[in-house]
Every structure is written in structure tokens, then in C-alpha cells.
Amino acid sequence: MDRVRIREYRAEDYNAVRQLYTAGFVEKLDTLYVHVLTRPWVLCALLASLPATFWLSGGSVRLSVAVAGLFLLGLRLAVRNLLDRGIRLGLGDDLRDIGASYMTPGRVACLWVAEDGDDPRGQVVGTVGVLPCETQPGAWELKRISVRLEFRGRGVAKALCGTALAFAARNGVRDLVLYTSMLQADAQRLYLRLGFTKREEFLWPSIPAWLVGFTVYKYGYGVHAAP
């Protein structure tokens, strides 16, 4: 956390916040692709395509390898498309009008950014937000927890989450939830250390997500009243 400051979101942070959110998805492409390659149906399809193509082509090894390569390329493009859908979902939701979503006076909601104190421009290197949960009335949701890759391992995410939890306690929030995925193993360990507990796990409700086994986890936290 040395030389990293946490402050409330300002209008001039808009593009940086959206770019940080997008980068968090893009960097997971390889991880999700490797996961997809381990799915039973993918392995079966790949193993079946090689002898089938070899037989249909009259024994052409080159064509068999080419077909397998195209299959793998198609899978990677499908994985990228799934991540792109996730990016569009967030950018079109609360991050479309960040001020209205998080910074409206009188609303129990807020977005914070962590900025690099060594950068004269105050580069945004992390974010976290709290706002009422749409899927669970009476609860609030911890959202947009993201830290730039080169700033991880410094306690930035922990400090951001601590800021959000303190805000929730001061404002009378009693139940806080968050959603994360199988791709965020490090983040899940942090949530457990902070006192969150896993409440649910489910496949993201879409056919592409079901095919790749994209699992989402819901965590909850009982907020203690501020002294």
C-alpha cells in the first residue's frame, strides 16, 4: 500500500475506471481458455475429429492437424466472445453512468479509486464500489473490485474492501453480498480472510457459459454496526 491513496470517485476518473474493468476481463482470456480445453466434451470432440478427418481425407495428416487447429482457434474465439459479453454487461450497467450509480447525494452508494501516489497524474490502479443489490432486496452489493496487475500483492484490494466495509457499517448496512467467478481464485481467498462466507454457486445463465462450465460464486458478509 506504500504510495497508494484511496479516495472517492471523481468525474475525471470515468475512462480510467472503465478501462481497468475491461483489462480485468481481458487478462483472464488464457486462464479461461485452458479451463475450456479440460472440459470433457471438448476433449472428446478434439480426439474424435483427428481420426475422423484422417479417414475422410484419405489419410491426410496435414488436413487432420489443420482441422484440429481450426477447432482450437474457434474455441479461443468463443472464449473471447464470452468475455466480451461480460465486459459489455458491466460497461452498460452501473459503469455506464458511474456518477448516477454510485455518487448520487442521499443514496447509500459509493465508488472509490486507488491512485498511484508516485504518478503525478494520479493514475487509477484500483476500484471498489458499494450500492443496493438488485437481486436481493435489503442487501447491498460490493462491486467492481479490481486492481491493476502490477499493483497486486501490495494490499491494495484489501484496503479498498476495508474502505467499502467501513462505509457500509457507517450507513447502517447489515448484509453485504458480492459475486465472483471461478477465475478469481486469489480474490476469493481475500474475501474469506475479510470474513465473507460462500453462500451460493451456480453456472452463469447462458448457453456459452454452460458449455464452458463458467461458475459464479455468491459471497455474503454480516456487517457490524460502526461504534
CATH number for the domain spanning 130: value is: 3.40.630.30
- Kindly report the average pLDDT of the chain as a whole number: 90
Q: Average pLDDT for residues 201-211, to the nearest whole number?
A: 85
The reply to whether 214 falls in a domain is yes
The reply to whether 20 falls in a domain is no
State whether 70 and 152 are in the same domain: no
Range of the domain at 76: 29-90
State whether 119 and 51 are in the same domain: no
State whether 72 and 128 are in the same domain: no
State whether 187 and 218 are in the same domain: yes
State whether 108 and 163 are in the same domain: yes
Q: Average pLDDT for residues 108-117, to the nearest whole number?
A: 95
Which of 90, 108, 140 is a domain's end point? Answer: 90
The reply to whether 61 falls in a domain is yes
Note the pLDDT of residue 91.
Answer: 95
The residue type of 32 is L
Residue 60's pLDDT band (cuts 50, 70, 90): confident
Which of 65, 90, 115 is a domain's end point? Answer: 90
Note the pLDDT of residue 5.
Answer: 94
State whether 198 and 131 are in the same domain: yes
State whether 139 and 37 are in the same domain: no
14-18, 67-71, 83-87, range with the lowest pLDDT = 67-71
The reply to whether 22 falls in a domain is no
The reply to whether 19 falls in a domain is no
Residue 100's pLDDT band (cuts 50, 70, 90): very high
54/162: higher pLDDT: 162
Residue 226's pLDDT band (cuts 50, 70, 90): low
State whether 75 and 170 are in the same domain: no
The reply to whether 128 falls in a domain is yes
CA-to-CA distance for 56 and 54, rounded, in angstroms? 6
Q: Is the pLDDT of residue 227 over 70?
A: no
State whether 149 and 179 are in the same domain: yes
State whether 137 and 187 are in the same domain: yes
C-alpha distances in Å from residue 113, one per residue of 43, 45, 100, 122, 144: 42, 45, 16, 10, 10
The reply to whether 23 falls in a domain is no
Number of domains in the chain: 2
The reply to whether 33 falls in a domain is yes
Q: Is the pLDDT of residue 105 over 90?
A: yes
Q: What percent of the chain has pLDDT over 90?
A: 62
State whether 104 and 212 are in the same domain: yes
Note the pLDDT of residue 9.
Answer: 98
Note the pLDDT of residue 132.
Answer: 97
Note the pLDDT of residue 88.
Answer: 94
Residue 2's pLDDT band (cuts 50, 70, 90): low
State whether 83 and 177 are in the same domain: no
